[in-house]
Structure formats: structure tokens, C-alpha cells
Structure 1
Amino acid sequence: MVIELQEDVLAPIEVKHQYAVVAITKHGVDIARRLHANFPNTDVYYMSKFERGDEREHNVQLFKNSVRMLFPALFKHYDGIITIISLGAVVRMIAPLLVDKKVDPAVVVIDDRGDNVISMLSGHLGGANALTHTVADALGANAVITTASDVQKTIPVDLFGAKFGWQWDSAEKLTPVSAAVVNEEHVAIVQEAGEKNWWMHDAPMPPSLVEYASLESAMAAKPDAALIISHRLLNEDDLVENHVIYRPKSLVIGMGCNRGTLAEEVDAVIKETLQELGLSIKSVKALVTFELKRDEPCFHDITSKYDWQFKWYTKDELNSQLVTDPSDTVFKYTGVYGVSEPAVRLYSGNDELLLVKKKSGNTTISVAEILF
């Protein structure tokens, strides 16, 4: 579908992520697609004349007519807008939309070669300076920051791990935790899952940021604030008051199902299983299955709903993996001894599964932590 932009009509956009990326040139489209691949917490918009045929797969929305008419909807729905448009043009287009630095979204500008990323609007309160660093890191570009206080080179709390697709559970404590980081108070960092290479600066981490091996040791140290990276459901009463929990994309779900299983049943099984295991659904990265199930509408519906990767494996690939309780019946009809268990082993690279296999109604489900 192509969005037909009209004067004084709010564009009917589909918002899935926290940030929007907008491009209007051929080179800009290349940069936008590359940025989305390295910074998944983005929705991409570009002109329909640059359509490549795989836009739905890459979370791209096409539009026609003046890009100026797209900005009112973007301002209304996104925390940040990343534009691959000249700085002067962006200034003119967004000027009528500006309200106050407390409510305006962050606006970042990238040049048409992707060499420079410029923090343009809402640098501090809106997070544009931190967003600029994240985007520049994702593109291997130069971050251009013009505010003096942002030379501290520390963790941007609202964007911590954003380039990996990490999400925070709640925005309630972002402000006090950010203040603790900026003011160099004792901030504990506990990482239980996810990518390890999250420090984005060439300078050492400030001594006020202290990494702990466990939540227990971190809380015993009585820090002023805490950054916690985990896919576990945590009892927040056991944590320091000012904390932010980040959900890394560190889990994969393997599933098999009977032909024609409803998406509602699959959704319910996934939620119930994750709750039983004490795991956050925000940390799921992918759903994997057998190639014979790649056209099941229920799997397409679920992965689209949660913006998960959907991957399937061949018979030979599945049969190359350990199956704890192989099924001769499944093999008779499909040529494989199992689906959900070997699929998550393949995707995660992990021999120790969080759930080997559970049969529930018309489905089987397995869960694994992804090894990074």
C-alpha cells in the first residue's frame, strides 16, 4: 500500500517502533534500509518511486507527493525522526510543527552519503543527541553534536542497547536514572542476557558506572540507580527504586502445529509458556519452525503482530540436531523426528534449552536463549 499524502490530512501511517526514518532520494533509501538493518527499533518511510518489492518484509512504508505532508503524523506518533534530507529543507518543513522542547520529538539529519549524523532538534530532553550517537554508530558515521554538555561520553539511558533492538519495560524511571548517570552517581549495571558490546564510546566507562555479576550483589551495594539487562520477569520490589529494565532480543521460540491452527491459540500458548518460564515476551527475537509449516497463516500472523523474525529449516537441517524424545509418528508423515526442539537448537546455537518441548493443544513449543 502507498500512502497518498494530502494537505491538512494526517497521513495514515502504521506505527510499530519508537523511531521513524525518512528518505527521499535513491542514496537516502540505501542508507535508510542499512540503518534499519542495524537499528531495528525503526519504521522506514520513502517515496514510492523507489519501491523494490520487498518493502513489507523490511518494515517500509511507501508514500507519494511532498514529504512535507508526512511530518505532522510523524511528529504526533514518534519519539524521534531520522531524516536523510538536507538540514535546511528539514528546518523549513518542521518549523510550523514545533511546540516546546519538552514535547517535540527528537529530529536527526543524515547527509545523502551517510557520512554525518546531525543532532538537530530536542537534543537533551528529546534525546536527539543520544539518538545521533546511536545512528552514527549503526552507520559507521560521524556524530555531529553542538551542545557542550554532551561531551561526557556516557550511557544514553533511553537508548541503551537500542541498536540491538533492546526495549525498556517502563519509561517511568528513565528521567531519574538518566540524571544519576549524568551526575556521575553510583549506577549499577547487571547484564543477564543479550549482546555484550554495548559500550559505544572510545573512552573508558566512567567509574560511577559499575558492572555487577548478579542482581543480588548489585542491590547489596546499594547503588543510586540500576540498569538491568534481562529476559527474566523480575520482582521489582527487590530492586533499588530508580531502575530501568531492558529487554534484549535474546529468546527464540520453536513451534510446530497442526494444519490450520488458529493464531489465537498460538498466541495463547506462547504467552502462557513464557509466563510459566518467567520470561518476557519483549525479549523474543524469532519464531522458528519446519519448512512444511512456512505457509501457516497462524505463524505469519503472530510474527507480524510482534514484529518477530520468522525462519524455517529443512528436513536435513532439523534431522542434524538432537531430539530428546523423537517421534516415529512425526517422522512417518514429515520425514523429521521433531520440529520445535531442533529448530530452536539451530537458531540459538545453544545446547541447554529453557524449554525442551511442551505439547499444548494443536501445537508444540520449545524455547531457547540465543548465544551471542
Structure 2
Amino acid sequence: MNIAVFSVTENGRQLSLRVAEALSAEHRVSRYCFHKHTDDNSAVFWNMGSMVGRLFERSDAFIFVCACGIAVRAAAPYLGSKPDDPAIIVMDDCGRFVIPVLSGHIGGANNLAETIAEALGSTAVITTSDDEAGGFSLERFAAANDLIIYNERAAKELTSAVRGDDKIGFFSSYRHGGMPEEFTEFSVCRTGICIDKDASQKPFDITVNLVPKNIVLGIRCKSGASRELIKETVSDIIGNIDIRRVREAAVLSGQDENKALTECFSELGIPLKTVTAQELEGASQQLSEPHSQCESIALMCSGGKLIISETGSEDISAAVCEAPVYIDFERQG
């Protein structure tokens, strides 16, 4: 995750350092400090709202060490829809409480808050009702299995059906396990979940479509390619595949130093992975037939099947693979 940590006071600055240390092993953390209380390892801001706006599209999470009202006002103008908004967490500058304010399940704010609280000896204040009730949570289930929720209105009706002890229908094109007793694959149900790459399927009167985020791109890019050309080429290659389904893109070591490439995928919110020549050679030897560089990279990183062969231009080309999916109801988000 790309995480931006904002602080306003001196106590907040010191706490933001501890937060960054706690999260930097698994996430890319950047610190932003108010100009009166800053240090050499942070960026400076004068207006929090403006800085949040600049970072909003390329950040997966915001952690605000300040009053909750300040954080809400800074983020509010940029909020969109529930599936797309980043995780937002607020902490008091004494480090007593860590509060997920937005995107608790889908954006991972609840888990992130618990991680921070454990590292800092704070208390995570989880307020989402599904956590309190201890029952099935669609958002938690989708986040844990890397699934995209396509229809929020149906999702709300499904949540109501779960709370009303109604039987919930379930259809999946993928292997699955651990299904709780409130779900059924064999009865006629008014409300249900459909997991498939085609979000237009409606096996139930009220269908919540969940689509796996399991697309992996293998990329080859020359240093002269512009950010606009890279984005346009990727869009053309994946065609009708929803860009939100792309789990990661991967390039050969050295190409990740291409600024236009890294900026493009940062804007798209897609992690860019680096593969060494040695890793690629070893993986290529395991393939049953020869493949291009992009195809080999995509196959290696996905562990799945090639669905779009390498295509593009001399400057930028890509291949697309689909990683295998296993749906586990017991997996925790």
C-alpha cells in the first residue's frame, strides 16, 4: 500500500515517525508534516487539504495524526464511492487511540489500525457494525479474497438479508471453501452473491457481483516512452478488462527506474514489481513452451494462465495473465 501520514504538532511529528517505522516493512510510507514541526525525512505542507488533494489518487491510505475534524475536512472534497476511496485513519497526537474513519473493510483501514495499535501500544477503535456483530461481512469477505464489489445497492440489501437470518444464495466460477451455513448453492434464493469475471451475470433477483482482482501484467518499456503512451497502450491491450482487476504489473530489473513507467502505474494505483534476469531465466526454464519476455514475466508473477499474448509497440508492450483464484470464507480481511 502507498500510505501518506500527516501530522500537525510536534507530538504528532514524533508519532508519525513511529507509525512509519511500524509500517515501512510491508508498505510504502511517506510522511507529511506541517511546516512548523517537520524534519529531514518528511515533506512539508502549509495547507493540508491541498496536499491531500495532490496525493489522493495515488494513495491507498491516509493516516492523520490530528483532530478528527481536521482530517475529515481535508479528505471530504476528494471522496468518491465506497469501493474506490482510500483507507482513512485518525490518531490523537498522544498516540492513545487509532480510529479507522473510512474504508474499514474494503480499503483495509481496520486491519491497518490494529497493526498500528499493536506496534505502538495504542487502542484501535473499530466502529463498523459487522465487526461488532461478529457475523458475515460482505466487505470483509471481499477484501480478504481480493474481490471487487460491483453493485452497492444490492450489497446493502444483502447485508440486511444476512441480519434478518435469510438464506443467501451463492454462485462461484472459482473453487471455494468454508462457506457458512447461512449460504446455499442449491436452493432458490431472492438474494445472493455471484463471483465471476463477468459482472453482468444475475443468477438471483438481487445479485451482488464480486469480480476477482487477479489480472497480472508483464511489461516491457523503453526509457523514451511517455507516461501518456504507457497508459494508452496498457488500456488498449487489456481492452474490456476492468483496470481495477489488475493486481500488479511486473517489469525486468532496471526498467523500474523509468520515471514515466513508475509514475503511470502509481497514478493507476497498480503496484509495479521488479523481476531480476536470473529469476526470469529460472522461471522460463520451467515453462513447457517458449514465451516472449512480457509473457514469461506475467506467467511467473501470476502463477496462472496467459490470456493476452504480448502486444504493443517497440517502445511499450505487455502481456496479460489471469492468476488462479480460491475463495475462502474463513480468510480474514
**TM > 0.5:** yes
> CA–CA distance in 1 between the matches of 2:187 and 2:305?
32
Equivalence for 2:199: 234
Equivalence for 2:191: 225
1:90 to 43, 68, 73: 68
TM-score by length of 2: 0.63
> Which amino acid counterpart does residue 221 of structure 1 have in structure 2?
S
> CA–CA distance in 2 between the matches of 1:30 and 1:166?
32
- Report sequence identity in percent: 17
Q: Does the aligned pair in 2 maintain the 1:233–1:279 contact within 8 Å?
A: no
> CA–CA distance in 2 between the matches of 1:193 and 1:51?
49
2:301 to 347, 350, 369: 347
> Which amino acid counterpart does residue 315 of structure 1 have in structure 2?
A
> CA–CA distance in 1 between the matches of 2:72 and 2:222?
51
Deviation of 1:151 (Å): 3.1
> CA–CA distance in 2 between the matches of 1:300 and 1:152?
42
> CA–CA distance in 2 between the matches of 1:114 and 1:188?
44
Q: Does the aligned pair in 2 maintain the 1:289–1:339 contact within 8 Å?
A: no
* 1:320 alignment partner, SS class: helix
Q: Does the aligned pair in 1 maintain the 2:31–2:41 contact within 8 Å?
A: no
Deviation of 1:268 (Å): 4.1
Q: Does the aligned pair in 2 maintain the 1:252–1:369 contact within 8 Å?
A: yes
> CA–CA distance in 2 between the matches of 1:174 and 1:44?
34
Q: Does the aligned pair in 1 maintain the 2:105–2:140 contact within 8 Å?
A: no
Q: Does the aligned pair in 2 maintain the 1:168–1:245 contact within 8 Å?
A: yes
> CA–CA distance in 2 between the matches of 1:193 and 1:115?
43
Query: 1:90-121: per-residue Cα shift (whole Å, max 9, x none)?
Result: 369879x99xxxxxx998544668775447x7
The answer to whether residue 166 in structure 2 is matched with residue 185 in structure 1 is yes
* 2:272 alignment partner, SS class: strand
Structure 1: tracts of 5 or more residues without a match: 1-15, 54-61, 99-104, 198-203, 213-217, 327-336
Equivalence for 1:11: none
Tell me which protein shows more strand as a share of its residues: 2
Matches within 5 A, 1:1-372: 22-23=6-7, 24-31=12-19, 34=22, 46-47=32-33, 49-50=38-39, 52=41, 62-65=43-46, 83-85=64-66, 89-90=67-68, 109-110=90-91, 117-118=98-99, 133-139=110-116, 141=118, 143-144=124-125, 151-158=132-139, 160-162=141-143, 166-189=147-170, 207-208=181-182, 210=183, 218=185, 221-230=187-196, 232-236=197-201, 238-257=202-221, 260-275=224-239, 279-296=241-258, 298-322=260-284, 326=290, 338-348=292-302, 350=303, 352-355=304-307, 357-362=309-314, 363-370=316-323
Q: Does the aligned pair in 2 maintain the 1:344–1:368 contact within 8 Å?
A: yes
Equivalence for 2:79: none
| Cα 1:34/1:169, change in 2 over 3 Å | farther
Deviation of 1:344 (Å): 1.8
Equivalence for 2:329: none
TM-score by length of 1: 0.58
Equivalence for 1:215: none
Deviation of 1:47 (Å): 1.2
> Which amino acid counterpart does residue 359 of structure 1 have in structure 2?
T
| Cα 1:182/1:46, change in 2 over 3 Å | farther
> Which amino acid counterpart does residue 25 of structure 1 have in structure 2?
R
Aligned pairs, number: 300
Deviation of 1:221 (Å): 3.1
> CA–CA distance in 2 between the matches of 1:229 and 1:146?
28
Structure 2: tracts of 5 or more residues without a match: 77-84, 326-333
> CA–CA distance in 2 between the matches of 1:313 and 1:148?
42
Deviation of 1:339 (Å): 1.5
> CA–CA distance in 2 between the matches of 1:258 and 1:71?
32
| Cα 1:94/1:319, change in 2 over 3 Å | closer
* 1:359 alignment partner, SS class: strand
Query: 1:248-307: per-residue Cα shift (whole Å, max 9, x none)?
Result: 4422100224563454454344334434xx643212122112225334455334312311
> CA–CA distance in 2 between the matches of 1:72 and 1:255?
30
Instruction: Say what the alpha-carbon RMSD is for the aligned residues.
Output: 5.1
> CA–CA distance in 2 between the matches of 1:366 and 1:149?
40
> Which amino acid counterpart does residue 322 of structure 2 have in structure 1?
E
Q: Does the aligned pair in 1 maintain the 2:71–2:90 contact within 8 Å?
A: no
Q: Does the aligned pair in 2 maintain the 1:355–1:368 contact within 8 Å?
A: yes
